[in-house]
Structure 1
Amino acid sequence: MNHDRYDDAYIREILTNTRTIALIGASPNPARPSHGVLGYLTASGYETYPINPGIAGRELFGRKVYPRLADVPVAIDMVDVFRNSAAIGGVVDEILALPVLPKVMWLQLDIRNDAEAARLEEKGIQVVMNRCPAIERPRLIG
């Protein structure tokens, strides 16, 4: 996969077929991008699962916050990541340890890790890097 440019059809298909999203790095701070994106995705009808060990057990946008990806009680379609590029290896390890693999890992704006993307793609997981679903969804779906 060429991660320098994505076809609109690739992104549209992911956003259309995704139902459940785990958002790693969810923040209760309204000034943080992860807070706004979580709110947007939740309001757009996705079943969201915020992940943040520092606020586990609390709620964001009416959704329970989980400490780890492995604690989410349902299979996840997409893992949306708000962590720096150097931390992606650990996230990929968490993803690959799940009993049911997600269909997609989505890395937010300015986050890219080609080596870790390749690890997931070898397992059949789609990867999007350096994009935001809260920007792409309105642009492609409305």
Structure 2
Amino acid sequence: MKDIFALERIAVVGFSTNPSKPSHTVPKYLMEQGYVVYPVNPRAEGDILGQKVYRSVAEIPGQVDVVCAFRPPQDIPAVVEDTLQRTDVKVFWMQLGISHAEAAEKARGHGLVVVEDRCMYVEHRALERGSDEPVR
């Protein structure tokens, strides 16, 4: 996990404009920790928390290290396809409660590290406490 959180640029697919949703609070937390966070939400316009919203991962200009997906499992294959349009992504992360075996295998087949069913907030906090063990 330490290697993943050493990466700096995170595209968050499904970044919500609703401040009460985890898909808003988790990326906000990551921004507060100093990460560059790119909101990806085809239904939102303008910006979220002062960051320009993109319609897809592929359209983000500049480096993207991690794609974090806050989408239901049935949407994950399309998010992986979008992610694979880029050559700079190193990690594909599916948030807590989200997994998709075939999409994960496809991402791994293209050299990405895949994390399924884990919360970036929870895992980052565990590292901050000095534990590199996955939190369950």
Question: One fold, TM greater than 0.5?
Answer: yes
Q: Helix, strand or coil for the counterpart of 2:58?
A: helix
Residue number in structure 2 paired with 1:15: 5
TM-score by length of 1: 0.86
- Give the aligned partner of residue 114 of structure 1: 101
Deviation at 1:139, TM superposition (A): 0.7
Root-mean-square deviation over aligned CA pairs: 1.1
Confirm or deny that 1:30 pairs with 2:43: no
Which deviations, in whole Å up to 9, do the C-alpha atoms of 1:108-128 show, x marking residues without a partner?
Answer: 011011111111111110000
Match of 1:54 among 33, 43, 54: 43
**Identity fraction in percent:** 36
2:117 to 130, 134, 141: 130
The answer to whether the Cα contact below 8 Å between 1:52 and 1:66 also exists between their aligned partners in 2 is: yes
- The answer to whether the Cα contact below 8 Å between 1:20 and 1:78 also exists between their aligned partners in 2 is yes
Superposed structure 1 runs of 4+ greater than 3 Å apart: none
Task: Measure, in 2, the Cα distance between the counterparts of 1:109 and 1:55.
Answer: 23
What number of residue pairs does the alignment pair up? 129
TM-score, normalised to structure 2's length?
0.90
- Segments of structure 2 that go 5 or more residues without pairing to the other structure are 130-136
Q: Distance in 1 between matches of 2:37 and 2:89?
A: 14
Q: Which runs of 5+ in 1 are unaligned?
A: 1-10
What is the aligned counterpart of 1:64 among 52, 65, 84? Answer: 52
Q: As a proportion of its length, which structure holds more helix? A: 1
Taking the aligned partners of 1:114 and 1:136, their CA distance within structure 2 comes to 21
Deviation at 1:74, TM superposition (A): 1.1
2:21, 2:31 → 1: CA distance?
Answer: 16
**Counterpart Cα distance in 2 of 1:14 and 1:48:** 14
Shift of 1:38: 1.2
TM-aligned CA deviation for residue 20 of structure 1: 0.3
